[in-house]
Amino acid sequence: MMRPPPAHGAGGGRIRVGCLSPYNAGVCGRFVSVASPELLAKRFHIDEVESDDLGARYNVAPRALIYGITQTGGVRTLESLRWGLVPFWAKELKVGDRMINARAETVDEKPAYRRAFKEKRCLVPATAFYEWQRVAGQKRKQPWLFRARHGEPMAFAGLWETWRDPETPDDEPLRSTVIVTTNANELMKPVHDRMPVILPESCWSEWLDPDRRDTEALKQLLVPSAEDVLEKHPVSTDVSNVRNQGPQLVEPVEVSDEPR
């Protein structure tokens, strides 16, 4: 089973996870993952589970191991992927720190993503996700939690890649992923101008099938979710620190200026 090095860079240097803030981590820079592999297997019609149970996590940040759903030879697999895509041509692991989100508009053009977009698409299951809203006259930003109204884990559109460290080419390769983002829908717009692509179940098979390589048709799937798919509420600024965990992070709080 894949065991990527979440705490160390390719050169052996320590990665300071705490230095990642929600403001430089990207559009979709934090999310919630509390569903077990067993629940995900049922929800996403998984054929094989190759991931360990990563546990309930309420503040998942880039560089972490996350669940990814891939498909090869018609077999749908739940596995563990490093969040932050490392292109196959990268010389070092830290390249992935800049690859946590891929814009839907250019995902078929960027060198880091275009091969994966054609051949290595995945789903990233998430219970909820966070975005930060600017507060007029203040330096702080107000975090908001977005989750599916139906209460089930949602499916982010993702891409995955395999990378071998050129310094240790005989080691097991690293498998990593990036979350695709698109323009915000009306629910999201007061908080942020972009959002993760949330694929409905009717699109899962088409997105996962590596034999489907019509990039124009695939890009038609990368649209904002319908207005009634999500619900939102403000949460504590405690979530802004990646070291904070626990169910209290998803609880609603009172805010003075709620976006309409």
Instruction: Supply the residues annotated as catalytic.
Output: 28, 131
Contact 176, 85 (CB under 8 A): yes
**Torsion angle, alpha carbons of 86, 81, 98, 124, to 10:** 130
Beta strands in the chain (DSSP E): 31-33, 48-49, 57-60, 65-72, 75-83, 101-103, 121-126, 128-134, 141-148, 154-163, 174-183, 194-196, 230-234
Q: Which of 124, 127, 130 is nearest to 160 (CA)?
A: 124
Vertex 198 angle, CA 255 and 136, to 5°? 25
Phi/psi for 86 (5° steps) reads -105, 105
Residue 133, Cβ density class (10 Å: 0-12 exposed, 13-18 middle, ≥19 buried): middle
Distance from C-alpha of 177 to C-alpha of 68, rounded to nearest angstrom: 8
Phi/psi for 141 (5° steps) reads -120, 145
Distance from C-alpha of 214 to C-alpha of 219, rounded to nearest angstrom: 9
Q: Tokens for 175?
A: 């498998």
**Torsion angle, alpha carbons of 86, 87, 89, 93, to 10:** -10
Could you identify the residue written with the tokens 């390769």?
173
